[in-house]
């Protein structure tokens, strides 16, 4: 007799199979104004009850704009490549029973499954800052997952709009491949980095690449929107791995596979670590008052017992108002324990479990923001160059997107235990 196992997504009362999750960098567990609907800080991709994937089928070369409109209005998915005023190549897509498609972008229209807006560095404490001109595409990218094991997820640049079309206008970079199929890049591009060694304590940063509309891998253009594409990287693919980073020029997403998440610390584990630190009753070495990390829900309001740290040396204190070294550098303070001068900031626990590469205790803080996580997680993120603007890269705190500074980008915290 056949008994539905965990592999069977249609088993009654079973959750559908999870392909993986996308987590937006810069948010410590939730968006500043709260997660709502399709706009949230993390998005889980589940096997759909009915496949909605598409695959390329017929190619039309068209010389009049009217004819291309007729084809793209047939209610079928299509990609239009405008080569000149009087030549457009339209590639029609047909239904694919074997895949599920998920779309990501800035648009709130119904084809977008996960709505992503520009991440403002350090925006945890500043809901007011508004992006005037977003650089994230309305239909930025699509992720296509195989419905059967091993449930491979692949990423492609651009998403289909409400008319089921992708239009690459005259100015977009596009070309015909030697095998005859058309391909192109979106205006600001979709960049992907696969870490070497997956998403583990031993992982190292990989190389950033650009993904084309058809899912090929290219070296980066000179700037994000340059007309000239990079070189084809033949031995790399658009298959997402646990820990792959996807940059949409304004927001960076971390892809975690279902299996990877299974081995990652949970929110409960992080809460247990917080309680463990607090139970050890760390004290301010000067005021001798007991310090405590605020609860996860209170992660933006500085509390009275909140630990503060000198980021140059790592000594943890309670808040005090002395030690200012100059009137100009408001945040430059001298540590009363070792006299090192540097920034003095409140410490915040990194609550987004998806960013941890291990389940170690929170012993290290990123500089200059003061988000605290395990040593190996701090090391990992401190080495990752994240895209910034149209051609810069720098390491940033995964919890608040603040650019990291200092010798190592993070510091080991020195707590003082209770003196009793």
What is the tens place of the pLDDT at every residue in 148-157? 999 999 999 9
Percentage of residues in the chain with pLDDT exceeding 70? 88
Contact predicate 18/255, CB 8 Å? no
- Do 212 and 303 lie in one domain? The reply is no
Which range (65-74, 142-151, 283-292, 363-372) has the least confidence? 65-74
CA distance 345 to 307: 9
- Answer whether residue 394 shows pLDDT above 90: yes
Average pLDDT of the residues in 37-56: 94
- Answer whether residue 300 shows pLDDT above 70: no
Q: Which of 191, 254, 199, 257 is nearest to 380 (CA)?
A: 199
- Give the pLDDT of residue 13: 60
User: Exposed (0-12), middle (13-18) or buried (19+): which is 355, by Cβ within 10 Å?
Assistant: buried
User: Exposed (0-12), middle (13-18) or buried (19+): which is 360, by Cβ within 10 Å?
Assistant: middle
* Domain-ending residue, one of 197, 230, 262: 262
- Do 234 and 282 lie in one domain? The reply is no
- Do 258 and 271 lie in one domain? The reply is no
Confidence of residue 5 (pLDDT cuts 50, 70, 90): very low
- Give the pLDDT of residue 60: 87
CA distance 405 to 198: 26
CA distance 347 to 246: 28
Phi, psi of 384 (to 5 degrees): -90, 120
- Give the pLDDT of residue 50: 96
Confidence of residue 72 (pLDDT cuts 50, 70, 90): low
Q: What angle do CA 192, 259, 104 make, to 5 degrees?
A: 40
Tokens of 306: 């909140």
Tokens 């058809």, residue located? 214
- Answer whether residue 1 shows pLDDT above 50: no
Phi, psi of 115 (to 5 degrees): -85, 125
Q: What is the chain's mean pLDDT, rounded? A: 87
- Do 225 and 286 lie in one domain? The reply is no
Tokens of 349: 């626990």
- Give the pLDDT of residue 127: 43
- Do 239 and 106 lie in one domain? The reply is yes
- Give the pLDDT of residue 124: 45
- Answer whether residue 269 shows pLDDT above 50: yes
- Do 148 and 96 lie in one domain? The reply is yes
Average pLDDT of the residues in 203-213: 96
* Domain-ending residue, one of 244, 262, 280: 262
Grouping H, G, I as helix, E, B as strand and the rest as coil, residue 70 is helix
Q: Which of 255, 259, 54 is nearest to 150 (CA)?
A: 259
- Answer whether residue 184 shows pLDDT above 90: yes
Q: Which of 397, 309, 406, 415 is nearest to 361 (CA)?
A: 415
The number of angstroms, rounded, from the C-alpha of 5 to the middle of its chain's C-alpha atoms is 32
Q: Which domain holds residue 273?
A: 267-412
- Answer whether residue 67 shows pLDDT above 80: no
- Give the pLDDT of residue 126: 42
Euclidean distance between the first and final Cα of the chain, in Å? 65
Confidence of residue 125 (pLDDT cuts 50, 70, 90): very low
Average pLDDT of the residues in 270-295: 89
In a domain, 153, yes or no: yes
Average pLDDT of the residues in 121-129: 50
- Answer whether residue 11 shows pLDDT above 60: no
Tokens of 93: 């897509």
- Do 245 and 129 lie in one domain? The reply is yes
- Give the pLDDT of residue 84: 85
Torsion of CA 286, 287, 290, 292, to 10 degrees: -80
Percentage of residues in the chain with pLDDT exceeding 90? 62
Confidence of residue 418 (pLDDT cuts 50, 70, 90): low
The DSSP letter of residue 348 is: E
Number of domains in the chain: 2
* Domain-ending residue, one of 235, 262, 289: 262
Average pLDDT of the residues in 352-363: 94
Tokens of 361: 């205790």
- Do 283 and 345 lie in one domain? The reply is yes
- Do 187 and 39 lie in one domain? The reply is yes
Confidence of residue 388 (pLDDT cuts 50, 70, 90): confident
In a domain, 91, yes or no: yes
């Amino acid at each position: 007799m056949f008994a539905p196992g965990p592999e069977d997504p249609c088993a009654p009362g079973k959750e559908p199979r999870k392909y993986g999750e996308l987590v937006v960098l810069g948010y410590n567990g939730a968006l500043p104004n709260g997660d709502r609907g399709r706009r949230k800080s993390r998005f889980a991709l589940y096997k759909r009850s009915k496949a909605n994937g598409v695959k390329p089928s017929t190619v039309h070369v068209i010389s009049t704009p009217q004819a291309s409109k007729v084809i793209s209005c047939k209610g079928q998915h299509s990609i239009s490549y405008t080569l000149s005023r009087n030549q457009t190549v339209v590639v029609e897509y047909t239904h694919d029973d074997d895949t599920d498609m998920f779309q990501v972008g800035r648009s709130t229209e119904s084809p977008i499954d996960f709505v992503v807006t520009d991440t403002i560095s350090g925006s945890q404490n500043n809901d007011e800052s508004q992006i005037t001109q977003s650089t994230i595409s309305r239909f930025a990218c699509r992720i296509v997952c195989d419905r059967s094991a091993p449930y491979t997820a692949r990423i492609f640049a651009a998403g289909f709009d409400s008319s089921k079309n992708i239009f690459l206008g005259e100015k977009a970079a596009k070309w015909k491949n030697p095998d005859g199929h058309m391909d192109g890049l979106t205006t600001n591009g979709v960049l992907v980095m696969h870490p070497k060694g997956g998403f583990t304590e031993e992982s190292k940063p990989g190389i950033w690449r650009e993904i084309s509309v058809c899912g090929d891998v290219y070296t980066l253009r000179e700037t994000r929107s340059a007309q000239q594409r990079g070189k084809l990287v033949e031995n790399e693919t658009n298959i997402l791995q646990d820990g792959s980073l996807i940059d949409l020029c304004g927001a960076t997403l971390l892809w975690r596979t279902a299996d990877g998440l299974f081995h990652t610390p949970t929110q409960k584990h992080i809460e247990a670590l917080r309680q463990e630190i607090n139970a050890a009753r760390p004290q301010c070495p000067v005021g001798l008052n007991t310090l405590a990390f605020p609860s996860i829900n209170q992660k933006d309001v500085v509390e009275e017992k909140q630990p503060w740290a000198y980021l140059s040396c790592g000594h943890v204190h309670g808040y005090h108002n002395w030690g200012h070294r100059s009137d100009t550098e408001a945040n430059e303070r001298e540590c009363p324990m070792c006299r090192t001068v540097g920034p003095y900031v409140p410490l915040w626990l990194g609550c987004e479990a998806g960013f941890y590469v291990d389940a170690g205790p929170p012993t290290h803080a990123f500089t200059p923001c003061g988000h605290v996580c395990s040593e190996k997680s701090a090391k990992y993120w401190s080495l990752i160059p994240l895209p910034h603007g149209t051609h810069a890269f720098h390491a940033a705190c995964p919890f608040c997107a603040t650019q990291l500074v200092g010798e190592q980008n993070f510091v080991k915290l020195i707590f003082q235990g209770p003196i009793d």
